[in-house]
Amino acid sequence: WRLYALSSGLGLPIPRPYRAPYIPGITVMIPHYGETIIMSKGELFDRGSSEQSRRSHVQVGRMCKVPVREMVPLIDWLKARYVDEYRAFTHRMEARGMHIGGVPWEEMEDHHWDKICVWASMRMQTLWRTVAGICLYHPALQVHYDTQKISSSCLAQADIWNPADCFTCLVSMQIYNSFDKAKLSQTNKMFNKFPESLKVAYIDHEDLYPRSDDAASARRREEAEQQASLDHVHPRQARRYWSCLIDKKCPLQPDLRRTPRYRIELPGFPILGDGKSDNQNHAIPFMRGAFCQ
C-alpha cells in the first residue's frame, strides 16, 4: 500500500515551491500529558540493579545454583546499543574539557549526568527528542532563506526576516499547572535550548466560590459572583478555565513557573474524554500560519 501511494504521488503535478521570505506560516502541535520530558539519573542508573547484575547465580538449597535474570541499568543498555554514537559523544565532551569516557557511573558528577541525560533522551521516547526533531524546521528555513532568498524584496534586508515568524512549535501541556519542580525545570531547559520557536499552551483554572466561611472568603466569593455575572458565566459552573500561552520571554516566577503571555477563557471544562485531541484543541487559538501539522 505504501509503494502504491508513493507511485501514485509521483504522477501528480508538483506544486510551485515557495521562496524566502514569502513562506507561509506553519504550526506544529505536540500533545503532552504526563510523558517523560527528559530522562533523569534515577531512570538511567539504579545502583541496586547494577549490584544485582554482578550476581549471576543464586543458591537454592545445598547443591543447586539457579541463574537469575541479569539486570543492568538502562544507561548500560543504551551505551551498548549505540556504541559509535556514545563514543562520539564522549569525544565531544572531552573536547570541551569534560572527561566522561571510562569513568564509572557511580563516580560521575551532576554536571556529567546533565549531559548524559540529554544524550539518552535523544534515544528514548521523550518529549525532548520530539521537540528537538521538530525544531529543526527553524535552521532549515534559515538555510533556505540564505541560499534562495529574493534579494529584491524589502523583507530580505538584514535583521527583518526571522524563521520564527513563519514557524511555531506549539506543545500542548495539559497539566503544566500541576508539574513538580523537576518537570518545571526540564520545561525551562527546553525553553533555553529552543528559545525562538518553542511555545507551550496549558490549561489553568480558578475556583469561583471559596469554601471557607471567614469574612475574607465571603468577600472574595461575592466579588467572584459579580465578575462571573458580568462575564455571563453559568451559575452552576464552579470553576473558570483558561488556555494560557508561555514562551522563553515570559517572566520566570520563584516557583519555576512562567507568567503567561496570553490567557483565553474557555467555555467550560475542556477535557471531554477523547484523549490527545482534547489535549490539543484548547491550544488552537494560539496557532499561527496557514498550515498545521
Give percent of the chain with pLDDT exceeding 70. Answer: 88
pLDDT of 158-191, one tens digit each?
A: 778 889 989 999 999 988 989 999 999 999 999 9
The pLDDT-based confidence of 210 (bands split at 50, 70, 90) is low
Least confident of 60-69, 93-102, 138-147: 60-69
Asked if pLDDT for residue 226 goes beyond 90, the answer is no
Residue 120 contacts by C-beta under 8 Å, 6 or more apart in sequence? 39, 44, 74, 75, 78
Contacts 24+ apart (CB under 8 A), 130-135: 130/30, 131/30, 131/169, 131/171, 131/190, 131/194, 131/198, 132/193, 132/194, 134/28, 134/30, 134/169, 135/169, 135/194, 135/197, 135/198
pLDDT of 234-285, one tens digit each?
A: 777 777 889 999 999 999 999 999 999 999 988 888 877 777 777 788 899 9
